[in-house]
Amino acid sequence: MKRRVIAAAALALPALLVAGSAGAQAWPSKPIRILVPYTPGDGPDVIARLIGNKISERLGQPVLIDNKPGASGQIGLDLTAKSPPDGYTLGVGLVTNLALAPATYKSLPYDPLKDFAPVALGAINYLALVARPDAPFANVNEMIQWAKSNPGKMTIGTTSNGGLPHMSFEMLAHLSGFKFLNVAYKGNGPVVTDLTGGRLDLGVTSYTSVAPLIEAGKLKLLGITHPSRDPKLPNLPTIGESVKGYAAPGWFGFVAPAGTPPEIVKKLNEEINHAIGQPDVQKTMGTLGLIPSTGTPEDFGRLLRSDNDKFARLVKDIGYQPQ
C-alpha cells in the first residue's frame, strides 16, 4: 500500500508542476487596467497612455487607462491598494502622494509602504526656483544672504501649503537657516503673474512653465531642485551646488496592490522599462520636462522608503502641522 501511494504521488507531481507553470505563463489572459489619479490630458495621464500602448503591443492584451482624479491623487491610489493583487491593476503615483503626503496629511486612506508593491519608476522631474525680475539677488547664495539680512520678509508663491513646491523651499530654508513667508495660491498662473509683476520675491514651479519668461528676462532662474543637472539642459544650475545636501526632485512611478506575485511585478517592470526606452516615449517625456528613468522594483522601493523618511524628518524638524 505504501509503495502504491508513493508511486501515485510521483506520477502526479509532474502533472501538478506542469499545471502550475501553465497557470503562471497564462498571465496576462485579460486586459490590464492602469488607474491614473489625475484628469485626462495631465502629464501622468499622457505618459501612462503611451506606456500602456507599448505594453499592450508586446503582451497582446489591451491596457485600459482608468482616470480616477481627486484628493491630490489619493482616490486613485486608494482604489489601486484595494484592488485584487493579481497583476491586472496598476496605479500611477507621484512623490507628492506616495512620499510627501504621509508627512503632511493627518491621515491617508492607504499606507504607501505597506499597501503597494513598487513596480517601476517611470520618470524624474524637477522644479525651478525663480525670482522676480528686479530681485536684489541673482543666485541662490545671494538669495540666502538677502533672506538672512531681512528675516521673515522674503515672500514665496506656491500652489498650496504642504505641497512639493512649498516643502522643497522649506527644505532649502531649513538647511540654510533663514525664515520666509509662504503665500499659497490656487494655481500656478497667479503665482507667475505676481512674480513677473514684482509682487512676490520668489516662486517654485515647473521649469517648462516658466522657461519662456526666463529666456525673455521676465524672471530670474536661481536653480533647480534636482540633485544633478539635466543632461538636456546642462546650463541650469542646481540648488544643491550652493546648499550641501539639498535635493527635492519629483518623480512618477507605477505601483501594484501589495501581494501581487513577484514574477508578475518583474514582468511588468521589464515591460515598462522597455516602453520608456522607446524614442517617442522619451521625446514626449522631454516635452513635459521629465527625465526618463528605469530600474528594478527594488530600486523603486528604496526610493519610496528614503523619500518617506526624508519628508517625515523635514516636517518634524520645521514643526509643520499636518493638515
Q: Are residues 235 and 165 in the same domain?
A: yes
Give Cβ neighbours of residue 258 (< 8 Å, ≥ 6 apart).
81, 85, 114, 115, 116, 117
Read off the pLDDT of each residue in 59-82 and give the average, rounded to a whole number: 96
Is residue 312 in a domain?
yes
**Exposure class string for 113-151: b at 16+ Cβ within 10 A, else e:** bebbbbbbbbbbbbbbbbbbbebebeebeebbebbeeee
Rounded distance, CA 180 to CA 152, Å? 5
Determine contact, residues 247/314, Cβ cutoff 8 Å: no
| Residue where a domain terminates, one of 207, 241, 275 | 241
Is residue 24 in a domain?
no
Q: Are residues 164 and 149 in the same domain?
A: yes
**What distance, in Å, lies between the first and last C-alpha atoms of the chain?**
70
User: Between β-strands 127-131 and 220-224, what pairing exists: parallel, antiparallel or unpaired?
Assistant: antiparallel
Q: What is the pLDDT of residues 153-168, one digit of tens each?
A: 999 999 888 999 999 9
At residue 160, the pLDDT reads: 83
Three-class secondary structure of residue 295 per DSSP: coil
Q: Are residues 131 and 159 in the same domain?
A: yes
Is residue 4 in a domain?
no
Give Cβ neighbours of residue 4 (< 8 Å, ≥ 6 apart).
none
Q: Are residues 233 and 269 in the same domain?
A: no
At residue 19, the pLDDT reads: 43
Rounded distance, CA 21 to CA 12, Å? 14
Q: Are residues 170 and 35 in the same domain?
A: no
Domain around 52: 31-125+250-318
Is residue 17 in a domain?
no
**Which CATH number covers residue 143?**
3.40.190.10
Q: Are residues 261 and 121 in the same domain?
A: yes
Determine contact, residues 138/164, Cβ cutoff 8 Å: no
Q: How confident is the model at residue 25 (pLDDT cuts 50, 70, 90)?
A: low
Q: What is the mean pLDDT of the chain?
A: 92
How much is the pTM?
Answer: 0.87
Q: Are residues 258 and 236 in the same domain?
A: no
Q: Are residues 49 and 147 in the same domain?
A: no
**Which CATH number covers residue 292?**
3.40.190.150
At residue 4, the pLDDT reads: 53
Alpha-carbon distances, residue 180 vs 148, 176, 188, 198, 280 (angstroms): 9, 12, 19, 17, 42
Three-class secondary structure of residue 313 per DSSP: helix
289: alpha, beta or left? (left if phi > 0; alpha if psi -120 to 50): left
Count of the separate structural domains present in the chain: 2
